[in-house]
Amino acid sequence: MSGIIALFSKQAPISTTALKQGLECLKHRAPDQQQFWISPHQKVGLGQTRLSILERMHGEQPVANRDKTLLIVVNGAFYDCERIPGDLTKWGYRLRSDSDSEMALHLYNEFGTQCLHHLRGEFAFVIWDESNQLLFAARDRLGIKPLYYTFYNDTLYLASEVKALFAAGVPAHWDYESFLQADNGVLTGNRTLFANVYQVPPGYFLLASRYGIQLHRYWDFDYPHLTELQFQKSEEYIEKLRDTLDEAVRLRLRGDVPVGCYLSGGLDSSTILGMATSHQSKPIHAFTVAFDDEAYNEEPIAREMAKQAGAHLHVIPVRQSDLAEHFADAIWHSEMLAVNANTVAKFLLSRAVRDAGYQVVLTGDGSDEIFASYGFFEKDMLRYNSEGQDEQTLKNRREELKRNDNPESSTQALKHIQRTLGFVPAWIEAVFKEHIKSRSFYSPAFMAQFAQHDAYRIFLNQIDIQGQLVGREPVHQSLYLWDKTILPNYLLRRLGDGIEMAHSISARLPFLDHKVVEFV
């Protein structure tokens, strides 16, 4: 819903010009208003460019407490906040507004970094704590909202987009190792394509003081150990899941502007549209892309789903020439490699939503991750998690897999994964196959620099294997690894925030509400 930037220097005064230039670079995200604050000692600066969506978020930012010893800038939204004002009043706080940001600030004052366990939503924020001379920055559990940082000339820079760091004066250089990691599909959630520029990983917070910078994890995916697996009755599980997801949808419908829906025709977006319709008195406006290539065109299905929900459907025609024309723009906003034209299609879809007068949409993104719906995970389940399934069906499906299996999967590049995990996740086999194709794009001189480069060893070295993989089902291990790279860097960046906020569109993802994720 906005773009934020922060600068913190332990000694030298920060540059007002740098803060303003970085903020100006984020204007496309939220053009309604730009505001910034610099501390009296000039060691800290906070800025926000804002999209006015919710009345309770209309207060000026940075939001400060009464004595201005705590200040916050927020990108995103907090949900399920109705109980918080009553609790804060009991604890002695006097709210000056019904701003979500003010509530978050008081929760920090009450609980410190543990305030994150009281917050639900899609967010990235920065708090300056004057009393403790501490900067506290955090990113939501799934990484829906981005937060980048770097340290340059004794100054810490944080921003919603990498390009804002460069606009503020940070030198821009490629990180070639990260580039190859991304091309191999295993760029972890703390890296970017740029040298010395990092992400606050999903589910982490950052603390900065005169003693240095620390990163701490406050949430992670927690797949059950083999000894903890419990099977529930289908009817009971479905009912609880429906209630949990429906609550996530309902919470994301609040606001002072109409909320639309992205609709692809798939089960995920159709489910979200159906649930949203049940909470609205007027027809919802849904938006879908119609490709000129019938093999990829889901318009007929989307029309049927919109009709069933009683929604008003907007169809956005996209030709192959449109994809080519806007490819560079989409990549500039995504700040990530693109292996197909999906990024451009989402860019054009978001532009059409803005042109139709909408600022907020619900999406079905994330359902394939939490339900293991991709074909990769079906392969893993067929290979390693087939207990209780029909034997003949398994035999037939396994024969199909053999005919389509990746012949590259036994190469040296994947042997480290095989040795470490005891198997190679199907999705890693698939992205490795794509990397083999893309090698021809690189010059021999470039590839010679990385002759000994093992992308998958580097990837696994950044994973808590003992804590999060050992003792889990193979399909859960596969999902966890996917969650650490593809989800934050590809789905949520290349197809999410960066592309949607190019047109000031705030997307809300009910499937990635952390309560839904934890239930599943």
457 neighbors 416 (Cβ within 8 angstroms): yes
- Give Cα separations from 313 to 97, 120, 225, 284, 317 (angstroms): 37, 30, 44, 8, 13
- Strand ordering across the sheet containing 259-262: 312-318, 285-291, 259-262, 360-362, 506-508
Please state the pTM of the whole predicted model: 0.92
- As given in the structure block, the two tokens for residue 186 are 């295993």
Helix axes 234-251, 267-278, angle to 10 degrees: 70
Q: Which domains does the chain have, with CATH numbers?
A: 2-217 (3.60.20.10), 232-365+492-519 (3.40.50.620), 370-463 (no CATH)
**Coil, strand, or helix at residue 65?**
coil
Residues 247, 252, 256, 257, CA torsion sign? negative
* Complete edge-to-edge strand list for the sheet that includes strand 212-217: 63-64, 70-78, 121-129, 134-139, 204-209, 212-217
Nearest to 149 by CA among 213, 203, 216: 213
Extract the tokens encoding 210: 């005169």
Query: What is the C-alpha separation between 203 and 220, in angstroms, rounded?
Result: 6
Residues with Cβ within 8 Å of 519's Cβ and at least 6 positions away in sequence, in order, are 240, 241, 244
Ranges of residues in the chain with a pLDDT under 70 are 1, 52-60, 85-98, 385-411
- Residue 187 contacts residue 178 (beta carbons within 8 Å): yes
End-to-end CA distance of the chain: 27
H helices of 279-386, in order, are 299-309, 320-325, 327-334, 342-355, 367-370, 375-384
pLDDT at 55: 45
The tokens describing 204, both together, are 């982490």
**Of 177, 182, 158, residue with least CA distance to 168:** 158
> What per-residue string of b and e applies to 52-68 under the rule 16 or more CB within 10 Å gives b?
ebbebbbbebbbbbeee
What is the structure's pLDDT at 54?
Answer: 47
pLDDT of amino acid 294: 76
Residues 30 and 49: their CA atoms lie apart, in Å, by: 6
Q: Are 218 and 520 in contact (CB under 8 A)?
A: no
Nearest of 309, 298, 445, 427 to residue 372 by alpha carbon = 427
Identify the pLDDT of residue 325: 95
Residue keyed to tokens 């620390």: 214
DSSP state at residue 191: B
The predicted structure's pLDDT at residue 398:
66
Cα–Cα distance for residue pair 49/165, rounded to 1 Å:
15
Could you read off the pLDDT of 73-117 as tens digits, one per residue? 999 989 987 777 666 666 666 666 667 888 888 899 989 999 999
d(CA 227, CA 208): 40
Return phi, psi of residue 278, to 5°. -70, -15
